[in-house]
Structure 1
Amino acid sequence: MVSRLFSLLLVVGVFNIPLQAEVPATPQPVALQEVAALIDFSTFPLFGSEPQAQRQKLASQFYQTKGTVSEIAKEIDTALTKRGFQQLPGATVTPEYAAMMYQKSEYHLSLSLFPTGMPGMVSVTLNNLGNVDVGQLPVPADAKPLYVMPTAASYLTENSVDEAKAETHRLLKESGWHDFGDTTVSYFMRKDGVRLQVMVMQAPAQGNKTMIQFSTEQLSSALPVPEKFKRLAYADITTTIDGDCELSEDELFDWYRKALEDRGAKATTEEPVKIDFRRFLIFRSPSHELIELECHTVNDLTRFQLSYKTAAEAQEEDQRADAATEKAMAARKTEADRLKNPEKILVPGFSTATPLKKTPQTMEFTVKSGTAKGMVSRWLTTQKASGWQVESTIDENEVGEYILKMGEKTVDLSFIDPGIIPGQITLKTTKYYQLELQK
């Protein structure tokens, strides 16, 4: 929400520098236009009946739809074939599951379908796996292939897990791959917008050998990353990077200002904007893409988050923010009108009560000692007959508290009558209403 408010306030014009210019000391940005021209899953049609999109990005698509696995698989296969993709051998299509691979030029796609827990609903996932042939990636000299496919490969080596991991990482770095985060069991590297996952582990049932596994995926963004990071995570579903780095906040803002402005994206403010303990800087590209950088300091490290939105996504969020702003303004105007002209609530008086005090939202009456309880009971009976709902929180002879409701209208009634002095009855309502005695 904060980011959208920023974008509403800080958006500036359009600039005339290409977004894909080279950025020193970072991976070369992928030619995302080339990927989009091949197939853009953010605009690729959804198949089946009444599809419900849950993710549509450049490189992936996930949705649920009505139909059968085989029918929807056939529809998607036809659409991909028309776009020049060829289905690769080994496809599986059953009523319970479908898995297929496609290729066009050097790019590979994966398609999977399976029924959801809802009757007649099917889950569909399409992923662009990129254009890297993992069978051509460098591996330790003694590594022997266990299986090799264009998008996934596995090798065995006599090296220890630590040795194999270090050697594989060194070879990939020398081949132009850049560190891009890790998990407890694997690490990631990135090159030209393709993310490579590398898993190095003890090979099961392979005589103490070490297994090296590669797999790839095309990313929907190519955001630059400083090399001095300590932790990094990327989610393509949100095209967001978050991590910790050794640069100070100011150094990180300067680094990203240069990196992104070299690509053509321009900061919308001269200085970062601070809200609470976080600082923000927003960039816009010539093609209206939006990049937002947020950071704060945690334990001598700068924790940062860098998010990317396409022009369409940014426009959609701006429209939602505009609609929310208009709704909030309308609500404020409605509230102001209600406060200026509160609706009247007509209430009957109490038979022998004497008015004591009157404001628009309050009425006070004094009654003869010992008569308040009976007078209030008769008054409540009349109000119930008029459609009011009555709840009692205290209902004693000497004191009583009641809440009356009709729609949004609320009236609080209370009385106190100790029996030795005159009793008092009080009516109250909210600021949106005013009390008036029936004549």
Structure 2
Amino acid sequence: MKKTLLFLTLCILAKQQYAQSPFATDIIVNGLIFGRGNGGIIYNTASGYNALGTVNTGTHNTATGYNALGNNTTGTHNAAVGKDALAQNTTGVRNTSVGTYALELNTSGNYNTAVGYDALGQNTTGIFNNAIGHFALYANKIGNGNFASGQGALYYSTGSYNIGLGYLAAFNQTSGDNNIIIANNADLPNRTGSNQMNIGNTIYGTGINSSTPGAGSIGIGTTSPRSKLETVGSGMFSSAANGSSLIIDATNLQTDVNYSNVRLVAGSALGAAYLKTSLDNYGGYFSWTRGSSSGPVEVMRIDATSGNVGIGTASPSEMLSVNGNIRGKKVIVTTNGWADYVFESSYKLPSLDSIAAFIKENKHLPEIPSASTIEKDGQDVGEVQKLLLKKVEELTLYIIDQNKKIETLQAQIDQMKGSSDNSGRH
């Protein structure tokens, strides 16, 4: 308190003594210096032993504290508050240091800001650095454009354009550029690498480049993402509006809301193709849709209740319903009761007269579906093939029977012809 009163008294006396003219010398009280130090008369302010202590021509400097800006020569627009703050600065300009030893070894570095004990303490020529916190960016000497906030953040870093936020953030990072770390007491995956990111030891990035928008990959739960976004572990995407969510884990892609839709979309608004699911607890469907100039067109559907698949139809009535042509190299249809039983001795072959009467009345073969039935219900390929084979086998039996009758008649004709020839000779 006594020192404060003494200081104020001296200031009043000094003002009265020098009236309208500037101070010609500093005021020294018990070894404390108040004035411009050895700096130029213009716009320099010094407070503390050896503050702005070197004869210099620098202007617009403010030094408060023991040896603050003590070696400045031509540096301008600097502010140093604290013991040995910017002590070795000679030509550096527009630096701000607040704290004991802050920017102590800076000589010609420009546009740096250091707040905290020994913040940027070893910086010599680095420019555009910002350090907030005890020992923040302490070992940086020539690196540029770094930002560190937190005690010991980027402590050993010597690179450029790095960002470290948090207590001891990237404390052990020794080199590398364009790195980002936001976490307490954590490091980057590669302590000498560049273009990395670590947020809370949870979200990691590689290939990060501030000069190239969209560059790099992001990993959640992995330090080495293999794509633009890789998540190791389960994930949930939720809607604040209705509480619905999409859950992805190692074995499932699911939604937890009834009658919800999930779409996987690719393309523009009208030309988008997408896979859609519409499911509830008891059923639903999966559908594939393509875009068109008039809107989306569904091309395929799987009914989740019946398991029926529809191609070109949204209402498949069979296990596979196709509204269109099918082309293939081979179709195999399995069926029971193949028509070889026609050749059994117990099989009763219909008479041709009964078949003729049936055809006359129905205009198609017995057992064969009519034209109207085929047009309405379609054709059971396996069943129709079996019926057609049955008719072929029946026809074969008719032919065999007819051939026997023909042979018998031919024999009778030959016999009659022989008898006639013999009677003519007599």
TM over 0.5: no
Determine which structure has the larger strand proportion and give its number: 1
Instruction: Please identify the structure whose Cα radius of gyration is greater.
Output: 2
Higher relative contact order (CA 8 A, sep 6+): 1
**TM class by shorter-chain length?**
under 0.3
> What TM-score does the superposition give when structure 2 sets the normalisation length?
0.26
> What TM-score does the superposition give when structure 1 sets the normalisation length?
0.25
